[in-house]
A and B are shown apart, each in its own frame.
Chain A
């Protein structure tokens, strides 16, 4: 049973427009929600996170929104740039051991 779902395997966006990546979860016990960016044949790099007690966190062009009632997490990138083209994973933490549960990822392509 998947606890974390990224229902869109891919997303194509024009440069300068907004990219919205989504993540749904089933367990209410997660306390931190993270987004990672990954290029092929490399390890994921941390992008932005949000605590379960907040509903929005911004860092430059990246904003993460958390809707706890809907069990929905989203990442907004605006404006999108070609260098943002990568696979984006949402990752959710449950418990104190920093164990993360990852979604399957969404491949973002930003084209000129």
Chain B
């Protein structure tokens, strides 16, 4: 079945450590996105990528990094520079030609910094 797979589902990290969240899609979508959700808030855009080897900062990119070496994969690294990394992270993808604006989301990864 086609879809978006995020891993791990739950992750614990000590302060000062970098962690990488995986996002893989087999939908043949062009664009991929990373969002962050905090309690009582909407989803906020961290980074997005429209094509391989290209990506742009979203609204809250500080303390995060991404890569897009393959169309199917868009990993997110939460660095030690991110001051409040504990959150629920969501990866999404879409076909750029889709006019409805719909994004398809993965199941999410919950990161907790101890």
A binding-site residues for B, Cβ under 8 Å: 4, 6, 9, 31-32, 34, 36, 41-46, 49, 51, 89, 91, 93, 96-105
Contact = CB atoms under 8 A, between A and B. Distances in A.
Contacts of B56: 97
Given A97-B50, A98-B96, A34 B42 contact: no
A93 B107 contact: no
A101 B31 CA distance: 16
Interface of B: 4, 6, 31, 33, 35, 40-45, 48, 50, 56, 58, 88, 90, 92, 94, 96, 98-108, 110
A23 to B, nearest CB: 10
Given A97-B48, A98-B94, A99-B48, A45 B105 contact: yes
Contacts of A99: 33, 45, 48, 58
A42 B108 contact: yes
A75 B100 CA distance: 17
Given A43-B90, A43-B105, A104 B98 contact: no
16 contacts: A6-B42, A32-B99, A32-B100, A34-B101, A42-B107, A43-B90, A43-B105, A49-B100, A49-B101, A91-B43, A97-B48, A97-B96, A98-B31, A102-B43, A103-B42, A105-B41
Given A44-B90, A102-B42, A93 B101 contact: yes
A43 B106 contact: yes
B41 A100 contact: no
A46 B100 CA distance: 11
User: Which 8 pairs of residues, A with B, have the shortest CB-CB distance?
Assistant: A43-B105, A102-B42, A32-B101, A93-B101, A102-B43, A104-B42, A46-B102, A98-B94
Contacts of A31: 101
Nearest to B38: A104
A49 B100 CA distance: 7
Contact of B41 (A93, A98, A104): A104
